[in-house]
């Protein structure tokens, strides 16, 4: 239903309806800004990139066909391509911490379902503070771009594996593997940061 509405908006936009274009920008600017910010970890870069994305969308909207796939997937693919270009241009040298560094021993007595309903302070509670949010964002910025984009698309953009596979142009199995590795790496980085913070 949503895709049909978007398709109609795109058609109106291609016919020269300025209001339709404004509606598309209004609907998707938050999503694209968040995607860019989570990937670049810079509000300024995110703003510039979001603007570039919409300019690109405006220029190439004629190449989008409703029957080929969801508009969101097309838009995310375009954004991802620009993010990759930006990453290459800025030559960010992201240091990814080794996954092999000290596996943590967790309490494994509970099943996954039990753990999700654990009455102890949940990660959500821990994320309440801005400081924690900042730490997670910093950790996200430190993991490798391949893993980061997969995690962002799944956990923040709420895309399904098939769509992510389409955007990243890799098989679904690879997408799942990257998401798992990205999440694990993130947890390790956060754990290490917390240990360092408690030692100081």
Partner 1 sequence: MNNEAQNGMACSEFEALLADALDNAVAADTRTAFDEHGRNCAVCGPMLAEALEGMVMVRGLAELEPPKNLMHNILAATSRKEATAEQIAEEAKLGWMDRLRRSLRPQVGGLLHSRFAMSFAMAFFSLSITLTLAGVKITDVKNMVEHPGMLRKNAVLGYTHVEAKVTSYYENLRLVYTMQAKVRELKKSAAPVEEPGENRQQNRKSAPDGREKPNEDYSMELDGSLIAQTFTWHEGARI
The footprint of partner 1 (CB under 8 A) covers: 18, 21-22, 25-26, 29-30, 33-34, 37-38, 43, 47, 50-51, 54-55, 58-59, 103-106, 108-109, 111-113, 115-116, 122-124, 126-127, 133, 136-137, 139-140, 151-152, 155-156, 161, 173, 176-177, 179-180, 182-188, 190-191
Indicate the angle between helix axes 43-60 and 71-90, nearest 10 degrees: 130
Instruction: Select 88 or 117, whichever has its Cβ closest to partner 1.
Output: 117
Q: How far is the CB of 90 from partner 1 (least distance, A)?
A: 20
Instruction: Select 104 or 169, whichever has its Cβ closest to partner 1.
Output: 104
Instruction: Select 55 or 84, whichever has its Cβ closest to partner 1.
Output: 55
Q: How far is the CB of 112 from partner 1 (least distance, A)?
A: 6
How far apart are the C-alpha atoms of 12 and 46, rounded to whole Å?
28
Instruction: Select 25 or 66, whichever has its Cβ closest to partner 1.
Output: 25
Q: How far is the CB of 91 from partner 1 (least distance, A)?
A: 25
Instruction: Select 67 or 106, whichever has its Cβ closest to partner 1.
Output: 106
Q: How far is the CB of 64 from partner 1 (least distance, A)?
A: 16
Q: How far is the CB of 62 from partner 1 (least distance, A)?
A: 13
């Amino acid at each position: 239903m949503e895709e049909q509405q978007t398709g109609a908006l795109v058609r109106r936009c291609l016919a020269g309806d300025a209001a339709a274009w404004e509606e598309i920008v209004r609907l998707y600017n938050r999503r694209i800004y968040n995607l860019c910010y989570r990937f670049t970890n810079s509000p300024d870069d995110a703003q510039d990139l979001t603007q570039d994305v919409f300019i690109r969308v405006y220029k190439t909207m004629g190449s989008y066909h409703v029957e080929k796939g969801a508009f969101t997937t097309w838009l995310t693919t375009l954004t991802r391509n620009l993010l990759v270009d930006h990453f290459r241009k800025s030559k960010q040298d992201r240091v990814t911490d080794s996954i092999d560094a000290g596996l943590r021993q967790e309490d494994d007595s509970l099943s996954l379902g039990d753990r999700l309903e654990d009455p102890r302070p949940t990660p959500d509670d821990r994320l309440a503070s801005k400081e924690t949010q900042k730490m997670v964002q910093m950790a996200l910025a430190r993991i490798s771009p391949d893993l980061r984009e997969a995690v962002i698309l799944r956990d923040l953009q709420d895309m399904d594996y098939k769509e992510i596979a389409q955007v990243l142009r890799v098989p679904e199995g690879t997408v799942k593997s990257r998401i798992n590795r990205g999440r694990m790496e993130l947890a390790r980085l956060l754990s290490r940061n917390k240990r360092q913070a408690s030692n100081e």
